[in-house]
Structure 1
Amino acid sequence: MKIKRLIDRVPGGLMLVPLLLGACAHTFAPGAGTYFGSFTNGLITGTVPILAVWFFCMGATIDLRATGVVLRKSGTLVITKAVVAWLATLVATWFIPDEGIKTGLFVGLSVLAITASMDMTNGGLYAAVMQQYGSNEEAGAFVLMSIESGPLVSMLILGSTGVAVFEGRLFAGAVLPFLIGFVLGNLDKELRELFGRCVHPLIPFFGFALGCGIDLHVIAKSGLPGLLLGLAVVVVTGVPLIVVDRLIGGGNGTAGLAASSTAGAAVANPAIIGEMIPRFKPMVPAATALVATACLVTAILVPILTAMWARRFPNRPLEKASVAPLEVHH
């Protein structure tokens, strides 16, 4: 059976399919983890330890020995994405209650969901699209996008906008695995390759564990708000990314549009932040479902829009450069 091939046909499928299976398990057999106990319960309830290992391995994949062209392009995209997410979060605090929207068309929408969906680019999607419609240097610009992975940027945004206050020790605890992995990966190429191979296989495991905390009724309610959130991610982050790609990155805007997606890994951020800030915990299921929907929507729209843009505006040639081999999957 070609199960993997079938899952790959779904945008973000390696994350979203296990997440949906976990949600089915939680909805129809909510006591399964307690009933079976042991390792089965560990898989169902082990979101935090699984994510800790994944975050460590993700840090190890970042290789700073990239060329100036690649660093300029990736740095421009990463910084712009973070700044836009910060602004979107700040604006959202003016209109959305601290506990999120409880009724109406946008039920379930919260500042937490907006931040998590806006601040992380799907690096794997970006690289795949740019290999087809951009230059090798532009495709390699995903080397710094791993910095966005995990809760680090989301925590900085929520903290700096006054939405949440993170204790220093909790902040350090959240980023320490990533930093240790980063240091080891750059000290030893073989360690980078070893841990880098673990990034992709761990995604379905934390996807399933995340799903086990979601009721399918929450996903059903998040359908329209999630769709609108996905569209907002493409528009709100896409326009500034196109502009800076043209003005600073030396491109034609294609790379900026290709980066206007929500990473599959972003689905985990509400749960991680909810563990550190108890008042966010009630919002986690709805925020997770919203971010998952936004991930799916952007994974469908971004390649289509990027292809249209690339045909309309032919790419400018960039200076040639070599990029250290690296695979990043979000």
Structure 2
Amino acid sequence: MSLREILAKIPGGLMIVPLMVGALLNTVDEMHLGPVEAALKFINAPAIEETVEDPHTGEEVTVKYYEFLEIGGFTTALARKGTLPLIGMFLVCVASQMNFRVGAQALKKGAVITTAKFIAAISMGYLISTLTDPFSGLFGLSLVAIVAAMSNGNGGLYLALTGEYGDRSDVGAVSVISLNDGPFLTLVALGLTGESFPFVAFLAVLLPMLVGFLLGQWHESIRTFLSHGEKLVIPFFAFALGTTMSFAAFFDLNVLTGGLFLGIATVVCSGGLGVLALKIIGEPNQIAAVAEASTAGNAVQTPLAVASAASLAAAAGAMSAERAEDYQSIVETATAQISISTITTAILCPLAVIAWHRWQNGCSNSDETESSRDQDE
């Protein structure tokens, strides 16, 4: 079995595995192990100097240490500084695949499901952040983590499930549902809470998506060319994002419980509200709503994107530096929680679709039986 096939069998593997590898390498790096530092010093790797307080004398002293992710060149550029550029490239490629040339039925389903999923996300986020804390609430969850995880669905999983259990309009609805990719809806949700993100902050996040969308509409050959980057970039920016995290974060109780809670809430709340919304508009088949009740692997980049937008807002004077720092402080925990939610929903969402499909068929057969009885009478 090839590495690609192994990753395909792991829920969100293309995103989660490189992220975990990056976090593991960063964790080892931060341990400053003697043999590792000796090897780096032997090859003349640049030393990192840091001023710290001596615990015994209380005086400030300068210490030197070595990290293999800080050896410079392309290695450091990719591992330490490549996250935001790679995410920008990813958003261009993703947006290029969006297509509004879908049928009226698919358009209606996609709009209803996307809206219902977003309402479920902000409702859960506002409820928890209001009752607890917007940056470290129930199970350590932040508003950013909740909205990012619950509003951004796994498009590949959706296509697989609707392709097997849905109809053509369900599959076509993915063109509209794809609008929830990226951090835009999370920024909108934060804006509704009164956060002051200037227009330039939204533009900075949306511009790569807008460029990608326009390129995709321009010519089919461009769309095809950029489609390869949609998956190709994921493991690279996931690895780069992982190198900013500590592997120990995934074993934190708040991260584990928060991530599991997010996964269950995403399936139950966003799926349930989506089903209700489709029933209200008279759709007899609600499989698409349940199939979209997942967390996308690429949602893990949203906390960092939001923190970047907050820094831009602070630089523009629209947000205090302290508030921007609050958003920066939650990136590691929120990223880990969303990663766990991705894995959780990848397991629970297909089970929910199968259960709902059987229930719908059971109700349909029951209605047909009652109808035939009425005709006989």
Q: Same fold (TM over 0.5)?
A: yes
Deviation string for 1:171-206 (max 9, x for gaps)? Answer: 111101101111121121111111122101111111
Q: Distance in 2 between matches of 1:228 and 1:75?
A: 26
> Does the CA-based 8 Å contact 2:135-2:141 persist in structure 1?
no
Relative to the length of structure 1, the TM-score reads 0.90
- Equivalent residue letter for 2:345: T
Other-structure match for 1:261: 294
Structure index of larger Rg: 2
Q: Distance in 2 between matches of 1:149 and 1:249?
A: 27
Residue 175 (str. 1) matches residue 206 (str. 2) = yes
Relative to the length of structure 2, the TM-score reads 0.79
Question: Relative contact order (alpha carbons < 8 A, sep ≥ 6): 1 or 2 greater?
Answer: 1
1:32 deviation in Å? 2.5
Q: How does 1:222-241 map to 2 (within 5 A)?
A: 222-241=255-274
| Identity %, equivalent residues | 32
> Does the CA-based 8 Å contact 2:102-2:173 persist in structure 1?
no
- Equivalent residue letter for 1:157: A
SS of the equivalent of 2:11 reads coil
Classify 1:249/1:51 alpha carbon distance in 2 versus 1 (closer, same or farther; 3 Å): farther
Other-structure match for 1:157: 189
Other-structure match for 2:22: 22
Classify 1:61/1:315 alpha carbon distance in 2 versus 1 (closer, same or farther; 3 Å): farther
Other-structure match for 1:64: 100
Q: Distance in 2 between matches of 1:50 and 1:190?
A: 22
- Equivalent residue letter for 2:286: G
Other-structure match for 2:178: 146
SS of the equivalent of 1:173 reads helix
> Does the CA-based 8 Å contact 1:134-1:315 persist in structure 2?
no
1:288 deviation in Å? 0.3
Deviation string for 1:120-165 (max 9, x for gaps)? Answer: 1111101101111111221222112221111111100111122x32
> Does the CA-based 8 Å contact 2:93-2:230 persist in structure 1?
yes
Other-structure match for 1:38: 73
Other-structure match for 1:328: none
- Equivalent residue letter for 1:81: K
1:89 deviation in Å? 2.2
Runs of 4+ in 1 over 4 A off after TM superposition: none
- Equivalent residue letter for 2:84: V
- Equivalent residue letter for 1:39: F
Pick from 103, 106, 117: which aligns with 1:81?
A: 117
> Does the CA-based 8 Å contact 2:245-2:332 persist in structure 1?
yes
SS of the equivalent of 1:314 reads helix
> Does the CA-based 8 Å contact 1:252-1:316 persist in structure 2?
no
> Does the CA-based 8 Å contact 2:103-2:172 persist in structure 1?
no
> Does the CA-based 8 Å contact 1:20-1:211 persist in structure 2?
yes
Q: Distance in 1 between matches of 2:303 and 2:282?
A: 31
Residue 291 (str. 1) matches residue 304 (str. 2) = no
Bigger mean CA deviation after superposition, 126-135 or 248-257: 248-257
CA RMSD of aligned residues (A): 1.8
Classify 1:122/1:269 alpha carbon distance in 2 versus 1 (closer, same or farther; 3 Å): same
Classify 1:245/1:60 alpha carbon distance in 2 versus 1 (closer, same or farther; 3 Å): same
Classify 1:262/1:119 alpha carbon distance in 2 versus 1 (closer, same or farther; 3 Å): same
1:93 deviation in Å? 2.5
- Equivalent residue letter for 2:181: S
Classify 1:316/1:258 alpha carbon distance in 2 versus 1 (closer, same or farther; 3 Å): farther
> Does the CA-based 8 Å contact 1:89-1:158 persist in structure 2?
no
> Does the CA-based 8 Å contact 1:96-1:111 persist in structure 2?
no
SS of the equivalent of 2:173 reads helix
> Does the CA-based 8 Å contact 2:303-2:335 persist in structure 1?
yes
Residue 191 (str. 1) matches residue 227 (str. 2) = no
1:170 deviation in Å? 1.4
Q: Distance in 2 between matches of 1:34 and 1:251?
A: 57
Deviation string for 1:252-296 (max 9, x for gaps)? Answer: 221111111111111110011112223201111000000110011
Other-structure match for 2:318: none
SS of the equivalent of 2:92 reads helix
- Equivalent residue letter for 1:77: I
- Equivalent residue letter for 2:288: A
Residue 2 (str. 1) matches residue 35 (str. 2) = no
Classify 1:245/1:51 alpha carbon distance in 2 versus 1 (closer, same or farther; 3 Å): same
Q: How many residues align?
A: 311
